Amino acid sequence: MAIIVPTNKSVEKFKGLHLYHGGISNCSMRVRMTLIEKGLDWESHHLDLKKKENISDSYFGINPNGLVPTLVDNGVVHIESNEIIDYLDQTYAQPSLRSGDEIELKSWLHLAASIHVPACKPYVYATKMAPKLKKTAEEQAKYNILQKNEELKNFHSKHAGDKDFSTSDLDKATAILDACFFKLEKTLEGRAWIMGDHYSLADISWIPLHFVLLGCGYPFTDYSNIQRWAAAFAKKDSFREGVLKWCPDFAEV
């Protein structure tokens, strides 16, 4: 469980559920969807990522990676979105978002988490977001001081200043995504949802990836099962309220 002790002690006084999140963040989307599916009350702390509102001493004192989302549950700080949604489902048991084999469920959550920095972020930044999230020299210097995670620091160095992501970066990211969505397409053969007949955390983990990558031009046209699945989740209130309310169309971001 990704629980951390914050250096910004103000959040330890929070009562109830508080979520630090970004409208355009796919990781934030899955936590918002889970909170809505569970019918939980939560206080929103929205950070505008395009304005670099996450790059501050205050926020790095809450989440040492400077990433969203961060969940604070009665003063206890949780980071890493797939662990957060698993925590919420286990802690607030009804309605359950678990279905089928627990090992398979956890494997889908783990896979979504494992491709975030190697594939999802490079694809999204290289195809769309890098120019929109360019840091000024001052912002970059501030980020380099605050950020202690070398993987994230290395990732963001690739589009710092006048730099752009290389073709090889995009090719590597695309190859990983192709393999994952091929697996998802095959898994959805004969299934309404990833785990079978019941909507679960596995779907919530992957729905935002589909939404954001579709907005970045990833080609889903050859994935008929994924398209059917997408049409089904588009009807859900948690998708409308947890994703579209905060980011109506990622293609327009």
| Predicted pLDDT of residue 1 | 62
Share of the chain above pLDDT 90, in %: 94
- pTM score of the predicted model: 0.97
Give the chain's mean pLDDT.
96
Q: Please, are residues 206 and 107 in contact by the beta-carbon 8 Å criterion?
A: no
Give the residue-averaged pLDDT of 26-38. Answer: 98
User: What is the arrangement of strands in the sheet containing 17-21, beginning at the earlier edge strand?
Assistant: 3-4, 76-79, 70-73, 17-21, 43-46
DSSP string, 173-193: HHHHHHHHHHHHHHHTTT-SB
pLDDT tens digits along 41-57: 999 999 999 999 999 99
Q: Which helix (H) or strand (E) holds 79?
A: strand 76-79
Give the residue-averaged pLDDT of 123-139. Answer: 94
pLDDT tens digits along 196-218: 999 999 999 999 999 999 999 99
Structure confidence at residue 161 as a pLDDT band (50, 70, 90): confident
Give the residue-averaged pLDDT of 30-50. Answer: 98
Among residues 120, 87, 104, 83, the alpha carbon closest in space to that of 191 is found at 104
Token duo for residue 134: 């360019």
